[in-house]
Structure 1
Amino acid sequence: MATRTRSKKTCTVIGGCGFLGRHIAEQLLQRGYAVNVFDIRTTFTDDRIQFFEGNLCQTECLLPALEGVFAVFHCASPPYSADDRELFYRVNVDGTKILIAACKQAGVKRLVLTSSASVVYEGKDIKNGTEELPYAAKPIDYYTETKILQEKTVLGADSADLHTVAIRPHGIFGPRDPHMLPTTIATARAGKMKFMIGNGKNLVDFTYVENVVHGHIIAAEKLEAGSPVCGKAYNITNDDPIYFWSFLSRLLTGLQYDTPKYSIPYTVIFFIALLVQFFCFLLRPLVTIRPTFTPMRVALAGTFHYYSCDRAKRDMGYAPVVPLDKGIELTIKAFPHLKNSRT
């Protein structure tokens, strides 16, 4: 049992043992909240937090973690790299519907969803995109397909009984990142980071995790009757787009790896990725191949995709609390075990 003062306002973080969820829990503690963490398994310990283990799709598991709660932060999701349509639908769509019903049953008034800026991305350039862009008609993967449905469900649930908001971060990075930086370093160690897709001039948003957390918390604090935040989605980024390959190169250099030296035209590499995808489809009756070299990954590396935070600035007073340069520095320092030992 956590040792904490129950007189504090309590927040519950669904998926609080994950990368973003744990950062949200820690920042809530620093801001004076009491914290519950609900997840399918407990992966860290903290005497200040009360942990609840259970299945998101079972109301009886959720309810104990929602009793007397000021706000719920929903950031549980399978990783975007998973290729399991059924799993994405079960967690992101069905699980979210069950969570909304459980929040209403428990009397929770505020629900903040971790959505994604990719809900409007179709593999084509987006420059300073706003929340007014339509949802992607052709989502780039199952993750995005279900995040669209999830966001529509949460925003559609906004009412006098339950105020809701969706936060759309993009390119989250920072300490304990289990995906982007480790994958980049693994690729470099395998000698596959020698080529740059395109001319290297495509601007992209990368967002330090503490800024994403800040956006979530101030959104929750603004969720009340009559607030312009209710029922809306908000882009949350570092508000400082950077060239995609410049960002990766700074991480690689910081950890003492070589940076890409050669450039391949975007259209050429995208066509090759389409061919790989087509042949994998043809072979599917005989063998299942899950290539990491996909059109979606090529598009993410070679197109513009950065977003405006103007709505969040206006409605929530949002501003990044950690500049991009500082975020990169802190991230590199957090991964000394990934440094190149061959240099």
Structure 2
Amino acid sequence: MATRSRPDLLPALEGVTVVFHCASPAPSSDNKELFYRVNYTGTKAVIQACKEAGVQKVVLTSSASVVFEGTDVKDGTEDLPYAKKPIDYYTETKILQEKEVLGANNPDENFLTVAIRPHGIFGPRDPQLVPILVETARKGKMKFIIGDGKNLVDFTYVENVVHGHILAAESLHKNSPVCGKAYHITNDEPVPFWEFLSRVLVGLDYEPPRYRLPYLLVYYLALLLSLLALLLKPFIAFKPTFTPMRVALAGTHHYYSCKRAKEDMGYRPLVSLDQAIERTVQSYPQLRWAE
């Protein structure tokens, strides 16, 4: 929806009072123009169309990465500033997107907005996290743990993300503390990054990673490979498996506080992390290891 022109959006918004704006290219894409066109230009078109159509509430699917710069974030709150050095172009445009949506909040005109910041979304039949993880394992590239393996990360089950969106929409009304704010929505159960991946892999009958590599060594090797790929781009096209951004995500702490969402919206995760992992693994029988 977000890439259409404003006139094209108006028929779809007729009689609508709440819009959930979830459109975005996959974070793994390297199409900078597409990110900008969807996350920024497209979002501006959505906001304008919503105002013209009389939509009263807009709930944005943002990302906790808007405050992440590749270094540790422990129990991060929404008061953290936007990243001055975003880890990728996806994050850079999500910052622009969130600013547009929250800046459009105007109770005097009965136009209310809120941004939900999930982190590490996963769930049954998702085409991203688990299939990519399994493909990497099948290629023999999941043997190593980056760092000491103790870095805590939020992974958020999709049902909890949806629950957060619904609570946000229900809480949006004049004089509500929710108006014009961003909220972290997670499973509220930080887990070691490599433990989470190992539980998914073992659940699908794959070997978990066992060998450790120093974080800084891998990070600088990834940085060198990225620079090499950039220099050779006119002659040879190759995409490194590990980029500095992916190494940072795999080797640092990044988990976030849900305190504000609990206080302002009554948020509590509906599905525990243990239940979420079990449901997710069971949804991929076709990805199990076969001799």
Give the TM-score, by structure 2 length: 0.97
Tell me the distance in 1 between the aligned counterparts of 2:237 and 2:96: 28
The one of 248, 269, 274 equivalent to 2:223 is 274
Moved over 3 A (4+): none
Alpha-carbon contact 1:115-1:147 (below 8 Å) kept: yes
Give the equivalent residue in structure 2 for 1:71: 18
Give the equivalent residue in structure 1 for 2:125: 176
State the AA in 2 paired with 1:141: D
Give the equivalent residue in structure 1 for 2:40: 93
Give the equivalent residue in structure 2 for 1:7: none
State the AA in 2 paired with 1:133: L
Tell me the distance in 1 between the aligned counterparts of 2:4 and 2:240: 30
State the AA in 2 paired with 1:206: F
RMSD of aligned C-alpha atoms?
Answer: 1.0
Give the equivalent residue in structure 2 for 1:17: none
Structure 2 segments unaligned to the other structure (5+ residues): none
Alpha-carbon contact 1:56-1:62 (below 8 Å) kept: no
Identity of aligned residues (%): 65
State the AA in 2 paired with 1:284: K
Structure 1 segments unaligned to the other structure (5+ residues): 1-38, 40-54
Richer in helix (by share): 2
Q: Which of 209-218 and 287-296 deviates more?
A: 287-296
State the shift of 1:58 in Å.
1.2
Tell me the distance in 1 between the aligned counterparts of 2:234 and 2:137: 33
Alpha-carbon contact 1:205-1:239 (below 8 Å) kept: yes
| 1:1-343 aligned within 5 A | 39=1, 56-160=3-107, 161=109, 162-342=111-291
Tell me the distance in 1 between the aligned counterparts of 2:141 and 2:251: 16
Matched residue SS, 2:212: strand
Tell me the distance in 2 between the aligned counterparts of 1:341 and 1:287: 35
Alignment coverage as a number of residue pairs: 289
State the shift of 1:60 in Å.
2.3
Tell me the distance in 2 between the aligned counterparts of 1:193 and 1:91: 33
Give the TM-score, by structure 1 length: 0.83
State the AA in 1 paired with 2:143: K
Higher RCO (C-alpha 8 Å, min separation 6): 2
Tell me the distance in 2 between the aligned counterparts of 1:79 and 1:174: 16
Alpha-carbon contact 1:57-1:94 (below 8 Å) kept: no
Tell me the distance in 2 between the aligned counterparts of 1:337 and 1:212: 26
